Amino acid sequence: MLPEDLRYSCQVALPGFGEAAQAQLKAARVLVVGAGGLGCPAAQYLVAAGIGNIGIADFDVVSISNLHRQILYTEADLGLKKAIIAYAKLQTQNPHITLIAHNIKISSQNVMEIIEQYDIVVDGTDNFDTKYLLNDACVLAGKPLVYGAIYQYEGQVAVWNVLNTDGLRTPNYRDLFPEVDALQIPNCAEGGVIPTLAGIIGCMQANEVIKLITNTGEILAGKVLIFDAQTMQSRIIKLGTTTQTHITALTTSVAIPSISVAALKQNMDAYELVDVRTIEEHKAFNIGGRHVPVSDIDNLDLNNNTATILYCASGKRSAEAVKRIISKHPSAIIFSLEGGLKAWQEAG
């Protein structure tokens, strides 16, 4: 037996698995989008299981606030590109597979070309725009999408867009959430998340990928598993066997104007600052400017003579607010602070 065969001997020994299933894993092509809290554990177990071809797509850099849940990285990786670091570490973990780093932001302009190279897509992202984009792209391309989401103590897992025996597809993300007002829903950076939840949900996503490839077990298609880390209880919501949505084209990605912490610090007086967090967050700590929470952002009075910078804890709420304002006022001179106050504080 070759060393590579020994590596997978325990899973090959599983009833109903065997060498045929392992060969299917080796031939598979899986794209993990987002090398963060979900993408790290999902990718690590897919690599360990011997998925033959794995892509890692991410455009972000490692920050210190990532480390409590993004266990692939250490303090030595701070400021470095996640896709590049993940690629190097995962390739060391298993040199017998092929890894590709996509150090790029997934957008409506490139998503179809990227996912075309893969059989299955894993959604490890943390923002609604990308989740909807991946969902719609996978529907149009006829690819299964393994979905995961975490917030505070609760996580969700599902498998979207699986081909049924009748030729129709199972439900997708838009069957569950036709649309979401991202301004009203905090993300992990603002609402918090227990670190172990990321590992649990990421591992569940990897488990669904393995089941999909090897055709073993019961896939979470047409249903959503909801897991509570505090009670260790889970429940499954059934959505039906066939999608009821009709997706015919991608929504064009909008480039949100942003400014770095370094650029802002160089010339603070040149901008008008607006804190879009809650009043409690604003009172606890702020870097000046007006306070207009996202719930009131539609009433923001813009200064036509001065560029406005919106800021929040992580940059996500402010980016959504900027997008909302630009959709109504295309000529507005407005920016989102990249990385928010976390980036501000990390910069010293």
Catalytic residues: 188, 312
Q: How far apart are CA 21 and CA 35, in angstroms?
A: 26
Q: How far apart are CA 63 and CA 78, in angstroms?
A: 5
Q: How far apart are CA 161 and CA 300, in angstroms?
A: 40
* Token pair recorded at residue 124: 């490890």
Using CA of residue 309, residue 314, residue 319, residue 320, what is the dihedral sign?
A: negative
Contact 193, 150 (CB under 8 A): yes
**Long-range contact set of residues 220-224: C-beta below 8 Å, sequence gap at least 24:** 220/157, 220/158, 220/159, 221/144, 221/158, 221/159, 221/160, 221/162, 221/170, 221/171, 222/162, 222/170, 222/171, 223/158, 224/156, 224/157, 224/158, 224/176
CB atoms within 10 A of CB 313: 24
Contact 125, 134 (CB under 8 A): yes
Contact 82, 61 (CB under 8 A): yes
How far is it between the farthest Cα atoms of the chain? 73
SS3 208: helix
CB atoms within 10 A of CB 132: 21
- The two counts, helices (H) then strands (E), for the chain are 14, 13
